[in-house]
Structure 1
């Protein structure tokens, strides 16, 4: 997905999955380095015009996939190391 995409409420993909794809693409592009904070939930709500619960679901999905992690009372941070991209070659044994 395009890292600069907007949320399309008429698309078949749910808004939280769209946001997760957008944020994943931004992390891959290097917008936030591993160990750095991603924009706050409030900033993402305002930027994409979606509900806070939608933002939390997207961040939770990315956390489950290993892209980000939460620090209580601080926010969400990019994981280090990042998970392998699905199109990356598998490491040889």
Structure 2
């Protein structure tokens, strides 16, 4: 793969991710996994972009179904609490 092909592929993925983000925002409090199915049909390039986006957004593993309101902030673990005595 050449650099130009990689850049073009990255741009296409960014466009698809933006489509997925708009779909998720439009659905509001809906299930993010359903947004992935709605975005382009299971197995399509848009679906894979949605899955990638959902996993990054939710922080869930591939075996979990990420369900939360799109308006909720992502909660991060408190690092200090992890190392407290």
TM-score range, shorter chain: 0.3 to 0.5
More helix by share: 2
More strand by share: 1
TM-score, normalised relative to structure 2: 0.40
TM-score, normalised relative to structure 1: 0.38
